[in-house]
Structure 1
Amino acid sequence: MLLEMKDVSVNYGKVSAVRDISLSVPDGAIVTIIGGNGAGKTTSLRAMSGMVPLRKGEIHFDGQRIDGLSSDKIVARGIAHVPEGRRIFPDMTVEENLRTGAFLRRDHDKVARDLDGVFDRFPRLRERRRQLAKTMSGGEQQMLAIGRALMSAPRLLLMDEPSMGLAPVIVEEIARIIEDINAQGVPVVLVEQNAELALELASHAYVLETGNMALEGPADELHDNEHVRAAYLGI
């Protein structure tokens, strides 16, 4: 397994956010975590990327234990995080935002190549490379956030609510982008409020409810699960 969480619990102060959750991410896969608001989905991603400390449990990446490492060291290991709300730098240009994604890299000759690769993947970003990020549409900003993460040359991409607040036609484009990134060899952990979309994209799924792991299994099987259909698919 590329990434494994083992019996992980996280608290915010005295409040328990996730309790004893375990999950695995195979190399090459898209794995999704679905659940309602406050279920612990974002906390799980933040734990993987070193943004919150664990109360208990372990996280291993490529056979190495990474819980307890700082976020920058986890990025250096190959885990990139596209956060909820995009968190771009609004007063920096598109190109400046993208280059921040590569700030830990030392292979400077390849950074320029990867920047061209991001512009090839997102032609609109190339067109707006000198434009301030805050002047872009929501969909363009989401593409920028994904592109910035790709600039770290990740071995695993964590994505938190990439479709949030976007028009349906843009959501479809983001879905194609996720599939394309995965097809080019980058595994993805996808947290997504749009459960239908998440289960369509993923090969394996986990369902969190109030901080507990309620269900897990192949995504197509969970799509047909009566509880999932009633609670998350509106069926």
Structure 2
Amino acid sequence: MKFHSLTKMLTVGLIAVMTAALLVGCGSESSQKKFLNIATGGTAGTYYPIGGAMAEILNKEIPGMNASAQSTGATVANINMLKDNSVDLAIVQNDITYYAVNGTEMFQDKKVDNIRGIASLYPETCQFVTLDKSGIKSIKELKGKRVAVGAAGSGAEANARQILEAYGITYNDIDVQYLSFAEGASALKDGNVDAAFLTAGYPTSSVQDIASQNKVRLLPIDADKAEALIAKYPFYTKTTIPAGTYAGFD
């Protein structure tokens, strides 16, 4: 069967501080070393391998380039590191970048207006994952359950909160667990949570890891709830995860 979910238009982008420059060592132009630090995300997500591949290409194609990918707490942390000039480029969720530029959500009264987009990379999909044996078949059934919603203050956590709210569910209605992709996957496999949420391009390594040992179920987002979310948050759009994306997912 096909699984209907939400994705975010131009979700993942590459941004930089407008005034950031490459750090250049001493010497002639031909011997100058260019240092470039790319902020990515956790090693269980999609950002880290993409950042690594970008660094590899830059090092191969640009003489004197010394680019490296840094594992981080992902979008929110990346934007703060850009603000502090501790990284040069960052892979981010565009919705969270919108919050930063406008000083809303987790960036309330902490506007970051000196960042600029360079490129859109790929759409990310919001995924509520549970084990088939849990018997949970709908997001509305998460009330009273142990749910990993992402790291506290992360972009994924904001998405989880918004989607749950569309179903009339607040964090007071669930046993909320602030766990990263990798932590949530581990907790789900060990039976310490009933469902885990992630925002990432599919197939996602943390979900593949779960599905390699367990039959998994992705909880669909009902059409009316999707429409309500899109009306309130225009960066969402509908998507379908094909059957066979994950082992054990029909």
TM-based fold match above 0.5:
no
Q: Select the structure of larger CA radius of gyration.
A: 2
TM-score by length of structure 2 reads: 0.27
TM-score by length of structure 1 reads: 0.28
